[in-house]
Structure 1
């Protein structure tokens, strides 16, 4: 029972490690949350999560690895993802101009789900995660998490052993992602209700992040073609 709990908690940590770092997905979630409210932010997070479910199924079927070996796919993904990020950045800039304060009503229905879903499907980093860490999570076996820690690895060997390839690990993983897409928009909404200037500021920051990652992806795609 203890081993099962440890495996689930490890899965939650893996899920949060994928979902939480700053990047284009969280920029879109932030923009949707502070401009349109928690539900819109949650839908945006759900779009990225659904893409992860698709990548999970493709990895399980072994298709993702085949796609990764096809010449030209990676550069095309970088270029497509870069163009999408720059396009979404324009929308974020427009939001920054019109969002004078936080509101969760009175605006058109958000397309955050579609934005993050399409962007996730063209995100080489997300695909790379499932081709590396994702494969490791799916293959049956054990993972001694602390055994390779610097200096203290030998002393901690066997302390935290996770069962890979188990349903408990996968449930924990997607549970961790779900926790993030619920809590992150809620935290932003709570802050936005207290500070009227929060919404346009977050929209501007989202646009900056999207432009930065968009240009980076375009450069990386061009370099891979050359």
Structure 2
């Protein structure tokens, strides 16, 4: 496979992984509609930074430690669940927020989106699991079904690429970069037309983060239960 083909495949992989609804996109959406494109992009950059950290840890073999440390993994999942519930509470408080009337305090706090998304991503068991399995596979010579790995089963088998190529990894992060740039922009464009979207997005963010928080806590309880 050529370098260009690997780059294109990596971009498609990154977009397929970043685009589906989830806690990271809930944070990006909330930050974008309440604080503007820059805040939304920073939130996306926080999630992408976590992927970069996991990439480095995968390269040096540290991430694999979690496979043999269920106690550490369970505690990490539990912390992630609590954090998501906390951020869900914060999103719920902003249900009455407006696109056009953002107060000075919110503007001053726009950088918090980066930290929020980064911490959530670092404690997100699904993101860790991805790098323990598919992510590590990206770095080793072989083949990967891009859409099947990204859980887009309808397109499974349509894009099978060689792994172990630096171009594939670069393209993967380029795809994530396209999403965290374009997604906030799309929300801002919508905000100029639909003022009522701000409280709707905040409410959906609260529900989504809360749901993931509860799910993470149940996951942590199942993992830690046999150990205590």
Q: TM-score, normalised by structure 1?
A: 0.88
Distance (whole Å) between structure 1 residues aligned to residue 72 and residue 139 of structure 2 = 24
1:97-148 Cα offsets, whole Å, 9 max, x none, are: 3x133457743332100001001111110000011111111002344779xx
Deviation at 1:223, TM superposition (A): 1.6
Which position in structure 2 is the counterpart of 1:195?
Answer: 194
Q: 5+ residue gaps in structure 2?
A: 148-152
SS at match of 1:87: helix
Task: For 1:135-154, list aligned pairs within 5 A.
Answer: 135-143=136-144
| 2:102 corresponds to 1:101 | no
| 2:104 corresponds to 1:133 | no
SS at match of 1:162: strand
Task: For 1:104-119, list aligned pairs within 5 A.
Answer: 106=104, 107-110=107-110, 111-119=112-120
Which position in structure 2 is the counterpart of 1:31?
Answer: 30
SS at match of 1:96: coil
SS at match of 2:195: coil
Q: 5+ residue gaps in structure 1?
A: none
1:57-115 Cα offsets, whole Å, 9 max, x none, are: 00011110013311312211221011000100111111113x13345774333210000
Count of residue correspondences: 215
Contact in 2 for aligned 1:85/1:214 (Cα 8 Å)? yes
Q: TM-score, normalised by structure 2?
A: 0.87
SS at match of 2:108: coil
Distance (whole Å) between structure 1 residues aligned to residue 113 and residue 209 of structure 2 = 14
Contact in 2 for aligned 1:34/1:102 (Cα 8 Å)? no
